[in-house]
Amino acid sequence: MKYTIKHELKNRIRIHLPMKRLSFKQADTFEYYLKTHDGVDEVRVYERTADAVVFFTCDRSRILKIIKAFSFDDIQVPDRVFESSGRELSAKYYDRIVTTVILHYAKRIILPLSIRRVFDTVKTVGYILRGLKTLKNRRLQVEMLDAAAITAAVLTGDYNTASNVMFLLKIGDTLEEWTHKRSVDDLARRMSLNIDKVWLLTNDGEVQTDSSSIECGDRVVVRMGNMIPFDGEVIMGEAMVNQASMTGESEAVRKETGMSVFAGTVVEEGDLTIRVTQTEGCGRFDKIVKMIEESEKLKSSLESKAERLADKLVPYTLLAAGLTWAISRNVTKAVSVLMVDYSCALKMSMPISVLSAIKEASEYNITVKGGKFLEAVADADTIVFDKTGTITKAKPTVVRVVSFCDESEDELLRQAACLEEHFPHSVARAVVDCALEKGLSHDELHTNVEYIVAHGIASQIDGERAVIGSYHFVFEDEGVTIADDKKDGFYSLPDEYSHLYFAKNGELSACILIEDPMRKETGDVVRRLGELGFEHIVMMTGDSERTAARIASQAGITEYYAEVLPEDKAGYVERAKAEGHRVIMVGDGINDSPALSASDAGIAISDGAEIARQIADITIGSDNLESIVILREISTLLMKRIRFNYRTIVGFNTALIGLGIAGVMPPATSAMLHNGSTVALGLKSMTRLKG
């Protein structure tokens, strides 16, 4: 692709493609292409000018080679990229605002006064009808106040004021709608599916393959804790499926043979084999958008309170206007009062503030499912961390396999990896990755596998029952024994590592030593969270007391609990809430799901299990706990902004009403200042909270 360089700085370059403008699809294609290359940090493609700005961390020459190698005909872009693109939406609202401004001022310049008056009178009828519709619900809302103000201005012959009010109302409505849709779409894109690998059932068994190669009619296996990647029909198995992302249902739904399942839902218990009926690009993004728009979770309590107050103040504004006219017999003063209301500004600035904060959080790879949860994070005084994959690194590694039978360490690792590869947990991935690094092929050796939450896995290998998991599961629940001549070796296993036990036919076969080092940023994050107002910072883990004490000491956490089960974590959260605390739970595994659900705001680490991300109210996409500090800062700043907006709106508009009653300010000025301040506050609410 030919191009010209228009401007460049260090690690930033702006180029122009040889065309007047790009179509939306071309712009999305070029942006997708650039983002797929390592070293490209950020890309902005402008379809109107056919320009692109590329931020990069690699050599400049490599970026130029990447751009030169681009061709629209050679790039295969997934349908979901076009489906979830917000480019066309932004262009539509931008054009709508520009058109509104041009028509408003062109009308003043071109049309004679008499025609403008007729035009404004006709438009007034539309606002009157909008106001009357609110009376059907026996409620006085801002639409009725707008209709009364515009009607009063027309009846008194002040057509300029009526025209300005209608113009500003239209601009305000468009800005609010644009910001809302853009924020919702950004949130939906974060929640959209991003599944690269699936288990395909073939005549030779299960094979892990790219999701992009799946076709309608293929059979896909989905196990506990995983997201269903495609719409399909269950042909084998039974499971409880969480469908909240698609239908909003809070309770899991039982699915069995012959029933339909939906992409984006998550298997909570059991496993399913589905026949795919729809692959990607079939409207899942639209379903997510609809779910978000209809969800009450988007509203914080402060936002809801402001909206309720806005509606309650409308009758008082009408009453003030009526009393002003009754006392002064001055229509101009009464109209000045009608031109000002609290409702418009409150209803516009509050949701825009929340949705803009959600969008800003997404720029830090933090997905927040509603303003309610930002408020919970801002108010929380207790934060509970899971250890494995959260306090510690998301990628633990196998240090050593200790054999307690006649089989070799590599053979035992191969068998363990065969069981673990089906389940979404960081420790399971560590076992699978270690086998892969050693070149140990682990074709399906077992029959159906069973996952026991927070304990381990059970299956059959060569007719023998095989289990792998925690000490509690293997030795206490399963009653596994240790050969007498191996007990000394067992009791001398090093304590600095986590232990994963593998047993066959009721006897210990191996202990896999897992190194799970603490994240390097953990200590600093814990300290900063304390400075940001968290009174209780807690760590909970299923590991031994010794391991938990070591990690807690390194992290600077004084309150920790070891050898806990999922119900213990959820129980702690419930007790803390009952004592009046606002609680945040941070986790990444299937066993964290009950606590994530019970907390005021559940935060899931993106590398964790699908069920944890689905249940969580907030998902952190980056591999860094600094995101939690950023989330707390954004949430706190959002609450400050909402309170500032509230005080500003009430104070400023009360002053305008007072000046109108006193006859100091004419209706046109009141309307201009009121509507101008409303739009200005809305635009201010769209700005970034952090820097």
Confidence band of 320 (pLDDT split at 50, 70, 90): confident
Q: Which residue has the tokens 């809305």?
A: 682
d(CA 671, CA 101): 17
Q: What pLDDT, on the 0 to 100 scale, is given for residue 459?
A: 85
Q: How far is CA 54 from the centre of its chain?
A: 25
| Selected residue with higher pLDDT from 530 and 418 | 530
The residues that bridge with 54 in the sheet, in sequence order, are 13, 43
* Whether the predicted pLDDT of 394 surpasses 60: no
The mean pLDDT value for 295-320 works out to 69
d(CA 373, CA 303): 12
Q: What pLDDT, on the 0 to 100 scale, is given for residue 412?
A: 93
Confidence band of 206 (pLDDT split at 50, 70, 90): confident
**Burial of residue 4, with CB atoms counted within 10 A of its CB: 0-12 exposed, 13-18 middle, 19 or more buried:** exposed
* Whether the predicted pLDDT of 572 surpasses 70: yes
* CA dihedral sign, ordered 285, 291, 295, 297: negative
In the chain, pLDDT over 70 holds for what percent of residues?
85
Q: Which one, of 641, 569, 581, 585, lies nearest residue 618 by Cα?
A: 585
For 570, how many CA atoms within 13 A lie in the half-sphere containing its CB?
Answer: 12
Phi, psi of 521 (to 5 degrees): -90, -5
CATH topology of domain 366-393+518-621: Rossmann fold (3.40.50)
For 250, how many CA atoms within 13 A lie in the half-sphere containing its CB?
Answer: 6
The mean pLDDT value for 620-632 works out to 88
* CA dihedral sign, ordered 536, 542, 545, 550: negative
Q: Which one, of 240, 324, 244, lies nearest residue 287 by Cα?
A: 244
* Whether the predicted pLDDT of 108 surpasses 90: no
Most confident of 36-40, 182-186, 248-252: 36-40
d(CA 535, CA 582): 11
The CA angle 497-498-501, to the nearest 5 degrees, is 125
* Whether the predicted pLDDT of 189 surpasses 70: no
d(CA 298, CA 370): 4
Q: Which residue has the tokens 């803009």?
A: 356
Classify each residue of 114-149 as buried b or exposed e, where b means 16 or more C-beta atoms within 10 Å of its C-beta.
Answer: eebbeebeebbeebbeebeebeeeeebbbbbbbbbb
* Whether the predicted pLDDT of 659 surpasses 80: yes
Domain at 397-515: CATH architecture: 3-Layer(aba) Sandwich (3.40)
For the ranges 66-80, 93-107, 129-143, 635-649, the lowest mean pLDDT is seen at: 129-143
Confidence band of 684 (pLDDT split at 50, 70, 90): confident
> Could you tell me which residues come within 8 angstroms of residue 428 by beta carbon, excluding any fewer than 6 positions away?
420, 421
Q: What pLDDT, on the 0 to 100 scale, is given for residue 282?
A: 45
Q: What pLDDT, on the 0 to 100 scale, is given for residue 635?
A: 94
* CA dihedral sign, ordered 655, 306, 139, 355: positive
Q: Where is 355: in which H helix or E strand?
A: helix 343-363
The mean pLDDT value for 282-293 works out to 56
The mean pLDDT value for 116-124 works out to 90
The mean pLDDT value for 371-384 works out to 92
Tens of pLDDT, residues 495-512: 778 889 999 999 999 999
Q: What pLDDT, on the 0 to 100 scale, is given for residue 542?
A: 78
> Could you tell me which residues come within 8 angstroms of residue 587 by beta carbon, excluding any fewer than 6 positions away?
385, 386, 390, 569, 593, 595, 596, 602, 603, 604, 605, 608, 612, 616
Query: Is the CATH code 2.70.150.10 the one for domain 197-279?
Result: yes
Query: Is the CATH code 3.30.70.100 the one for domain 4-77?
Result: yes
- For residue 537, which amino acid is it? I
- For residue 26, which amino acid is it? Q
* Whether the predicted pLDDT of 568 surpasses 50: yes
Domains 197-279 and 397-515 share a fold: no
The CA angle 353-357-362, to the nearest 5 degrees, is 150
Beta strands 536-540 and 559-561, pairing class: parallel
Q: pTM value?
A: 0.69
* Whether the predicted pLDDT of 400 surpasses 90: yes
Q: What pLDDT, on the 0 to 100 scale, is given for residue 539?
A: 95
Structure tokens at 193: 């599916």
Average per-residue pLDDT in the chain?
Answer: 82
Tens of pLDDT, residues 48-63: 899 999 999 888 899 9
CB atoms within 10 A of CB 439: 7
Segments making up each domain of the chain, as ranges: 4-77, 91-188+296-354+637-685, 197-279, 366-393+518-621, 397-515
Q: What pLDDT, on the 0 to 100 scale, is given for residue 180?
A: 65
Confidence band of 266 (pLDDT split at 50, 70, 90): confident
What DSSP line would sit under 131-147, residue for residue? HHHHGGGT---HHHHHH
The CA angle 385-370-651, to the nearest 5 degrees, is 115
CB atoms within 10 A of CB 315: 14
Q: What pLDDT, on the 0 to 100 scale, is given for residue 283?
A: 44
